[in-house]
Amino acid sequence: MKTVDKLISEWNEEERKKFKDLIAECQERERRLIEASRVCKDNLSKLTESLISLLSNSQNMKQNTVKLADDLSGIHLQLWNKKTPSA
């Protein structure tokens, strides 16, 4: 992508003077665009880290839920065996 400075470097001095205000406005917009782009990249990185953390925590919750279900089934069977008399 061509920057404003690269573009106007191809212009002669008369063109630069003629469009001085427009050049200044474009340079400011370019600066703000670069900053907004940097912020977006930072936010995207943070979002990615958050999603990775969410996925990891979801996997941990799944494993814990399976273990809890197994433990509860074991407790249920132990209580069932105590309630039923042996034959």
**pLDDT tens digits, one per residue of 3-27:** 999 999 999 999 999 999 999 999 9
pLDDT at residue 85 is higher than 90 = no
> Range of 14's domain?
4-83
Q: How confident is the model at residue 80 (pLDDT cuts 50, 70, 90)?
A: confident
- Quote the number of domains for the chain: 1
Task: Please tell me which residue, 83 or 62, carries the higher pLDDT value.
Answer: 62
**pLDDT tens digits, one per residue of 18-65:** 999 999 999 999 999 999 999 999 999 999 999 999 999 999 999 999
Ramachandran region, residue 46 (left: φ > 0; alpha: ψ -120 to 50; beta: rest): alpha
Q: Note whether 64 and 72 are within 8 A (CB).
A: no
